[in-house]
Each structure stands twice: as structure tokens, then as C-alpha cells.
Structure 1
Amino acid sequence: MHADYPIPADGASGLDDGSNENEWAAPAAEATPLFWQADKARPRPRRLAEETPIALTYNRVSHAVMMATPADLSDFARGFSLNERIVEEVSEIEEIEIVAAPRGAVELRLWITPARMEALDHRRRNLTGAMGCGLCGLDSLEEAMRPLPVVRHDLRLHGEQIAAACAALWPAQALGQETRAVHAAGFWTPEAALVALREDVGRHNALDKLAGGLVTAGQDPSQGVLVMTSRVSIELIQKAAIMGVQVLAAVSAPTLLAVREAEAAGITLIGIARADGFEIFTHAERILGAL
């Protein structure tokens, strides 16, 4: 191990008490804003989500810095690496260190195989400019709009199951209920209901964390519903396709580009999921009775 700062024994989430300045913060903490109502102000405590810089390095070479919630960091490291195609298989990640840095920042140090590092070096040499959140470290516009794999087509679900998947998300969002300020990505299966959920201030980060958690648990992302609390942008479709997700349901609307890419990748894209229904944008044949 090469840690410069203390690392919790489980290598996962941050500490709750923030007792050591070299340890990263808890994912949420209490604040006391002034609540204004009827021309009067009074203190009213509430929980706020933490946001901290998370640096990802590969073989000690800096790659990206993401603003993220300091929890489920091992999952984030694995999921980000898989979804950004830095590695093709989780076995190509040889080691992960979670290192606390000054002022609450965190460094995720990943050691990957020589072949994958060589490919990453080639990508970095060809990097022409910085990209936005969810498109980190890409070579070009062509890479940003890379052709996506076509997912399997053997999943069939009832509308009631989609509703159940969406309804299961909020009760499981512990951090979301504390703060009202984070996104969630969940995975629901007909056999086991909600089997995994990850939260983060960034929707891309939440999905990367979920991807890492599923691969660690040996769970097949193609055999259930990916449920998101956010709008659906192209980056989420790209990540879902790489994961092999067949059905993605979100509480908000998708972009037009996301719809086009979901159609091409064979993903059933569902949006505007509410208690009274939802809208199916692509591949409605997976939802029994929809056609």
C-alpha cells in the first residue's frame, strides 16, 4: 500500500464524526438555515448533502476530478472505470486505494493492468479538450458519440412491475430523505425487488456507483430495471448500454438525443414515471400490453 493519509479499514464510505481533519467528510451533515414564512424568520435544522472533489488516478497518473458524494467510493472507482471504458473487465483493476487528502478531498488510486494503462495513455495523448461531467477523458467528439453495444432482448415486464420499480426508489433513499439534494440510481428485479441503490449529488456518479456495486455482487444488470431520479441524458444511455441494461426508467424526461441512442442500443427507455403512469419512449415491446 502507498497511502499518504489514513484509510478506513473497510475502504468504503467516509466517517460519520469527522474527527480527523485528514479523513473525508460524512455524506451528509446538519445545517441550520433560517426558514422564512409569514414575514418572519426562524432557525430550522435540516440535513444537507456533502459534495467533495474526488480525484481518480490510474497507476499514479491523474485522469479526472469529479465532484461527488463521499460514499461508496470503491463502487464509484470500479463503475467509473468500466463505464468510461478505461477497463473492459473489473479483473483488470489490480488494486484500489482510497486516500484522504487535505480539506476533505479524496483520491481514488487505481492500479490497472499494463495493457489497459497503455490504452489510457494513448487516449490521453490524443485528448483535444476537456469534456463535461460524464464524458471525462475522451479523445474527441467521435469518441463522445461512440457507437453503443446493442443490449439483449429477452426481458418482458408488466406495467405494474415498472410502477413497482419506480415506487421502490424513494423509500430506500436514505441520503435523499435527509437532504433532498441527491440523485439515486437503483436496480430492481422481478424476483427480488430493489436489490441495490446508490446516491450521489451527480446523477452520473450515482450510476457509476451502482454499476460498481452490481459487478461486485455478481448481479446481471440486464435482468431488471435501472431506475433513475434524474432526467435522462446521452451519458446515462451510454453507461446503461455498456452495463447491458435492457430497461431504464426515470422520473424525468429524456433528451431527444438520449431517445435516439436508446432506440439504436435496443434499450427500453421510460420517462416521466409518476404514481399515475409513465411514458415509454423506445422499445415498448418489452412492456407487456403496451403494443
Structure 2
Amino acid sequence: MPCLIARPAAAEVRAPDTSADGYTYAELTPENDTGSAALADEIALAIAYNGLSQAVMMVSPNDLEDFVHGFSLGAGFIESIDAIYDIRLTPHGDAISAEVQVSNRAFWALKEQRRQLAGSTGCGLCGVEALDQALPDLPVLPTAPLPPAAHLAGLRERVNAAQEIARRSGAVHAALFVDGSGEIRLCREDIGRHNALDKLVGALKRQRLDTRDGFAVVTSRCSLELIHKALRAGLPTLVSLSAPTALTVQWAREHNLNLIHLPHRSAPRVYSPAPKAL
């Protein structure tokens, strides 16, 4: 088990701060006026699989079971959420431990992955192992049609309206799923951009929603790690409100992931699939 500061355990996992008063502040002005603002919550989440400690993440304390499912899948620890049998969340003051029970096959694969990393640290191969994790072999997706342009119209405004935590406190990222009719079906928010997508993927898988005709939206910078998570989740299309990196576009094209950037004041830009030569 992770080493956590001993504090009285709360009766249940805390929800995000919804206090009307929020936190007081003083403005750095000659008048020194004061006010109050709601701030985003943040906790440490320690994750263990079958009693084996794996990771400690800083997350927003909402939709944690969605996060654990999505994180486990996105990190490659499991191949399907059906490998997760149970999740037990236990509060420890400002921290929460997640005890995850997985199948014997998934646990064996997780231990083998850890053994290979540990065994390479003394022979100069740790960098190679790290590169294997950063640039893994991932499935090539079946070719999927691009979403209709009408489904992207006014999307920024609709995303802003769906972000309840961001409207209250700011400082959070969001990942959303837009279904085949162009409606926002799910919205997950977190202080971490990777965490927000993990929560969305976990929710999609747990609710068994069909993602083939829809697309995911991320409000954050679109880097390679988000492409990894989208590919492992089998999402056909990823729409980013921020521009992608060059490597992100390259990987999206190589793996048949539709990748679209939605600029503030320009038409949607389809980076993957690559545009046909004129």
C-alpha cells in the first residue's frame, strides 16, 4: 500500500468544492480590495492493482471510478475494462487510495512489465525501455468517416456550457463525447488533461456507448499521449481545441485516427487523414 499521511478518514469520497463563499483573496491594488472565488479541488489518488502499488496521480476528486478504468486502459495495463473486477476507494484526508482488483492474466502482465523495467536499470537499457513506453506499438484503427461539419458548428460554445466545474472555478481541462447526432453525451473534467480523457474513456466503456459514429473532444493541448489513449480506446476521431504537435499528426495519420483542430476563428482543420494532393 502507498504511504499516506495518517489523518482521520472521511465518511465518503469528497465531492468538488461547491461552497458559495469559496476562498478569500486580496487584490494587489492600492485599495487592497478583497473578494472570494471558488477554486478547483485537487487530491492525490494512489492506485494499487491486486495489492501492488502502481501510481500516485494528482486528480480532481470527481468521477474517480471512470478515471481508474480509463487510466488502466490508456496506460496499457489492461486490454479491456472487463479485466477490472472491483474498485474500492478509501479516503485519507486529502488523499484517496484506489484498490483495484483485476484478472490474474492482467495482473501477471502488469508484474511482467514492472519486472522488465526493474531488470533493465543496471544494464544501460532503461532508456530503451522508456522509449518503448513513450512510442509503443499501437493498433491501426479501421478507417472511419469524418464527422459532418455541422456537428462542429458552435462546438466551442457548447463545450463551455457543458463544463460545470470550469464555470464555477476554472483551472480544469475537459474531455467530451459528441454522438452521431451531434449531441454532447458526456463531459468529464479534471485538473490534468490526461486525466480528463481517461475519465471520458472510462465513462464510455462503463456505459458501453457506441463510439463509432461520434467523436471525442479535448480542450487541452493535443500531445502524443492523448493520441495513445484515443487509439487504445478505439476512438475513431479526436477533435482538439488547441493545435496538435507535429508528432501527434504523424501518429494519427499512421494509425487511421481522424484528427481535427478547431481554431477560435477559423474553419475546422483536418490534419488526419492527410489531405489529398492537389
- State TM-score, norm by structure 2: 0.85
CA contact (8 A) 2:89 2:98 kept: yes
Q: Deviations over 1:78-126 (max 9, x none)?
A: 111111121111111111111112x310111100011110110011112
Question: Is 1:240 equivalent to 2:230 in the alignment?
Answer: yes
**Structure 2 unmatched ranges of 5 or more:** 1-7, 120-127
CA contact (8 A) 1:93 1:112 kept: yes
3-state DSSP class of the match of 1:221?
coil
Distance in 2 separating the partners of 1:155 and 1:164: 20
Instruction: Give, in angstroms, the shift of residue 162 of structure 1.
Output: 1.9
Distance in 1 separating the partners of 2:15 and 2:32: 29
3-state DSSP class of the match of 2:62?
coil
Distance in 2 separating the partners of 1:252 and 1:270: 10
CA contact (8 A) 1:79 1:211 kept: yes
3-state DSSP class of the match of 1:266?
coil
Distance in 2 separating the partners of 1:67 and 1:45: 24
In structure 2, the partner of 1:172 is: 162
In structure 1, the partner of 2:53 is: 62
Q: 2:24 aligns with which of 32, 39, 46?
A: 32
In structure 1, the partner of 2:5 is: none
In structure 2, the partner of 1:255 is: 245
Higher relative strand content: 1
Distance in 2 separating the partners of 1:228 and 1:236: 9
Instruction: Give, in angstroms, the shift of residue 21 of structure 1.
Output: 4.3
In structure 2, the partner of 1:183 is: 173
Question: Is 1:280 equivalent to 2:270 in the alignment?
Answer: yes
CA contact (8 A) 1:68 1:200 kept: yes
Distance 1:44 1:276, change over 3 A: farther
Q: 2:85 aligns with which of 89, 94, 100?
A: 94
Distance in 1 separating the partners of 2:152 and 2:232: 22
- Count of residue correspondences: 259
In structure 1, the partner of 2:63 is: 72
Q: Deviations over 1:182-209 (max 9, x none)?
A: 0000000232600001000001101111
CA contact (8 A) 1:24 1:105 kept: no
In structure 1, the partner of 2:124 is: none
Distance in 2 separating the partners of 1:36 and 1:272: 36
Distance 1:179 1:41, change over 3 A: same
Q: Deviations over 1:130-157 (max 9, x none)?
A: xxxxxxxx95311320122122223332
CA contact (8 A) 1:23 1:104 kept: no
In structure 2, the partner of 1:193 is: 183
CA contact (8 A) 2:9 2:91 kept: no
CA contact (8 A) 1:249 1:273 kept: no
Instruction: Give, in angstroms, the shift of residue 230 of structure 1.
Output: 0.3
CA contact (8 A) 2:218 2:240 kept: yes
CA contact (8 A) 1:22 1:104 kept: no
Distance 1:240 1:148, change over 3 A: same
CA contact (8 A) 1:151 1:266 kept: yes
CA contact (8 A) 1:268 1:282 kept: yes
Distance 1:87 1:61, change over 3 A: same
- Give the AA of the match of 1:247: T
Question: Is 1:226 equivalent to 2:208 in the alignment?
Answer: no
Distance in 1 separating the partners of 2:229 and 2:107: 21
3-state DSSP class of the match of 1:48?
coil
- State TM-score, norm by structure 1: 0.82
3-state DSSP class of the match of 1:99?
strand
Distance 1:109 1:128, change over 3 A: same
- Give the AA of the match of 1:253: A
Q: 2:135 aligns with which of 145, 152, 159?
A: 145
Name whichever of 24-33 and 48-57 sits farther off: 24-33
Calculate the aligned-residue CA RMSD, in Å: 2.4
3-state DSSP class of the match of 1:49?
coil
